[in-house]
Structure 1
């Protein structure tokens, strides 16, 4: 017999990683949406919309992350320059890499 705790977590890849982390941690802790919403000072409806992929303020995300003890960290993605792309193209065309 399977219990609720045996259920695998759903695939959250379709969500923004900041929201996916909130959902995964909430489910791991077995918190209801109502419990998290109350702890974060937002409505359950607002949390429902966020978890469905809706927009929210950064301050709301911070409150959710704080309630769940999740560290929110800013990181910049490497955006390739034109020189980077030209060098990669040259390697692929002339360097035998495909």
Structure 2
């Protein structure tokens, strides 16, 4: 029975608390979102993870329980298993994209 509970993820109360914390971090971060490339990378990592419920795209870790389509988009969020790459230099704000790529580095050396 314990294995089945683990597969369901955290209980509702825990998910509500986790979501409230995530929303607070997102608001404090100014509502920043990651680029489409980073978003897709994050989702690929999630899809290959045993803690992901692929049918619902929900993280089953006890300190998460988030819907990954939302969590993966928010710059302020991290994978509870530390599997996502850092997104500190990659965000979308007010329609502008801030993403460091090889081309932008080559075109605009430091």
- Higher relative contact order, structure no. (Cα contacts within 8 Å, ≥ 6 residues apart): 2
Tell me whether the two structures share a fold, i.e. TM-score over 0.5: no
TM-score, length-scaled by structure 1 = 0.35
Higher-strand-fraction structure: 2
TM-score, length-scaled by structure 2 = 0.33
